[in-house]
Structure 1
């Protein structure tokens, strides 16, 4: 069974003190790490302090981005080697804002994905709804072409260590209601794309998150869908109470039984 993964993307919000205070407020109220994995992606300058504050709580501190190069003359970039030394388990790559605002293309993201895997850090690969038709064993399937471009060179063994996040452009940062049916359809199509290009066994085990207008009112409905294994939460994750409601969605359901 795929373990649910609830991740927050704080983007360019919260300073170090605010970030550490947030962790201290939530770390005693998180769900059992054996049942639900919880992570937060803060600004880079808060990674170390948040990791220290999280301690053994099970909270994962996620990097929002990293360079494809491990070191060198790349002013302003974030080194995967440094992240590994910090104990970082996950790095988000290919977020739609990185593509829109900073011009990252499939080739750039692909290099970063392969570099992260080589360094032993799990990439959370963000992909949008761009699809193309492809014939597979005589059947027409819709394939996430952007995703397959980003996964170029990723082996059968490595793909098992990847998390994918489906973030349709119409939902990211829009503040509107998530369309649960479309979210599930997109995640299902991603799973089929992985099955067609790798194996059905791998596709059944890989975790696929949904990102876009997730909030306390829709998280239970999203997480009830068979192909949605978790969520990548934006603005709704900035509030402690809202975040705790979302990460503890499973316990809320069990308490009603």
Structure 2
């Protein structure tokens, strides 16, 4: 175990309209008690169109939930039709922004340089980036998983400030385990999260690596979260499908209780 403050984040992806999002957060808040937030950050990352509703709900009900966004543009403003800037998110009291998710990398062709620019933009706007990395099944089978993740980290963290390492999160998500029902074994997840930490140590030093939080993502469920979170280098979870169900996400958040 470590004294790093775990972070449990639900990535809703392109699910839930603003009414459904409000209902989901209300139900989640009902399931969670004040002590469930102690010693960890609990984050919900709804689609852009629901951010304002969830921000108002969190403020009005004085919930201990933190608000996250799923992406942003690296520029602060400009003629970028359909895009959302980091300063816009910051004005909505967003705490965290996911950058470099595998779906952005694979479906939209985003590379490490763009991910790094987005992470820097997130920090410049006063929020924390959740930088996602992970290998494909083909890369893992070829024995390239560690090299792929190292390369992604070197590129995606270029220019990212670690002045406060607790405000940078790295999410290791094996692509083959996202939405497939497949999950890396706890030992596999630990090995790769430890590898992530070792690469951060190479780039930023041992003290930063000891303080930065590393999440595991990839079909995290109530049934496997306890064993995953017992690993020494896993400091939280980036939860996809299970975060769309308030009962399931609440069980994931309360994994130690």
User: TM-score, with normalisation over the residues of structure 1?
Assistant: 0.90
TM-superposed deviation, 1:247: 0.8
User: Please, what is the CA RMSD of the aligned residues?
Assistant: 1.6
Gaps of 5+ in 2: 136-144
The equivalent of 1:34 in structure 2 is 38
Of 65, 74, 78, 1:68 maps to 74
- Deviations 1:133-154 (CA, angstroms, capped at 9, x unpaired): xxxxxxxxx9711111111122
SS of 1:157's equivalent in the other structure is coil
**Aligned equivalents of 1:169, 1:70: Cα separation in 2:** 30
In 1, Cα distance between equivalents of 2:160 and 2:26: 37
What corresponds to 2:184 in structure 1?
178
Question: Does the C-alpha gap of structure 1 residues 166 and 235 become closer, same or farther in structure 2, counting only changes over 3 Å?
Answer: same
Where 2:43 maps in the other structure, the secondary structure is: strand
**SS of equivalent to 1:144:** helix
The DSSP-based 3-state class of the residue aligned with 2:23 is helix
> In 2 relative to 1, CA 21–156 (structure 1 residues): closer, same or farther, beyond 3 Å?
closer
- Structure with greater helix share of residues: 2
| 2:171 alignment partner, SS class | strand
TM-score (norm. length: structure 2): 0.90
| Aligned equivalent of 1:120 | 126
Question: Could you say which residue in structure 2 is the equivalent of 1:226?
Answer: 232
Indicate conservation of the 8 Å contact 1:117/1:158, yes or no. no
2:27 counterpart (19, 25, 28)? 25
Partner SS, residue 130 of structure 2: strand
1:220 and 1:249 mapped to 2: Cα distance?
5
Question: Quick check: 1:203 aligned with 2:203?
Answer: no
1:149-207 CA-partner distances (Å, limit 9, x unpaired): 11112244165521100001221121223321111111000011111111111111110
Note the C-alpha offset of 1:67. 0.2
1:7-45 Cα offsets, whole Å, 9 max, x none, are 111111111111101111122432533322111111100
User: Corresponding residue for 2:8?
Assistant: 6
